[in-house]
Amino acid sequence: MTGTTVASYFNYSSYISCQTSSKNKEGVSFSDSIDVKSDKLQKQESQRGTVMKEYYAKKPQYKERTKERVDGGYVVLKCAGISAEDMEDMFMNEFKDVMSKVIAGIPHHATRPYDEETVIISEEGWENMKKDPDYAAYVVGLLQEDRSFANPFFAMGDKGSYIVQHFGASPEDYHGVGFSKIYGGTAAGARSMYNSAKATGGIETRGPQADLQPPADYNLWEERRKAKRRKRKEQLDEEIMARYYQKKRIDGMYERKLYENMELERSRTAAEMIGSRSNTSHAPKLSMASGMAFYEAAFMTSDIAEMF
């Protein structure tokens, strides 16, 4: 519920309250009206602030911090168009209805879109909130402060939280509990715990995406097993790809070496062929005259040898 909508509702509610009070006083004499009004003012003056004053006396170390929450609560109430006098002038049923809508309309931080919260106020708490607007402002201020905190685990995929806030006769009686929506490992188990803790009759507030997280059949342990299997598969895929590229690199090196050896063999063969051709071209060539001279010399040598 946006601030504008809340303010519009409460302005209308205050108008209806005023009209109802006027109708109830139609049959009362002027003097009686004065007496009733005087008694009411005296009662308001004697009770306003008593709850918080008693708490400050018991817990002086928390006084400053508590007053900050009271001031913050009055800011929220002012935005809703509600004053301390308005709260005191309301009937109890109307007061509960108005305050319940204010409490339910306090938004959660943007990083807490999945949260679900229930606020439980005891009957004595409602009575003290009505007679002491400071206490009502404290309740609103504490809830506004609590819901304004950012969720540090939102970016990590947090599934949201269940929260139950209890308010009694004074701030001293406050206690609350909150736990993950997958507390215990399953969404169904956490939901069961929340339903048990909030019981019935509380003021419920749901984040804008409370129905999206987590799925009803969500199981943390199964999800972790799946994540582990996915991670192992990714590791195996990486190993397979690494081995593939390693083999491809080795095959490439082998092919290059083979090619180099083939080129070297071709070069060697070519060199040998060029060398043999060079030797043949440089060998002495015999002319016919030279051949005849060698022949005659050999013949002469052989004849002379026989003579000796």
Closest residue by Cα to residue 136 from 79, 74, 188: 74
CB 103 within 8 A of CB 128: no
Closest residue by Cα to residue 146 from 172, 174, 184: 174
Segments making up each domain of the chain, as ranges: 3-218, 220-272
A 10 A CB-CB count for 130 gives 19
CB 163 within 8 A of CB 116: yes
**What is the residue-wise DSSP string for 231-258?**
HHHHHHHHHHHHHHHHHHHHHHHHHHHH
- The half-sphere exposure of 155 on its side-chain side, counting CA atoms within 13 A, is 2
At 130 the three-state DSSP class reads helix
- The half-sphere exposure of 272 on its side-chain side, counting CA atoms within 13 A, is 6
pLDDT of the chain, 308 residues: tens digit per residue: 333 334 334 443 343 333 334 334 343 333 343 344 444 444 444 467 689 999 999 999 999 999 999 999 999 999 999 999 999 899 999 999 999 999 999 999 999 999 999 999 999 999 999 999 999 999 999 999 999 999 999 998 898 999 999 999 999 999 999 999 999 889 999 999 999 999 888 999 999 999 888 888 888 778 777 788 888 888 888 888 888 888 888 888 888 888 888 888 788 777 777 766 665 555 555 555 655 555 555 555 554 444 44
Q: What number of residues does the chain have? A: 308
- Tell me which amino acid residue 166 is: H
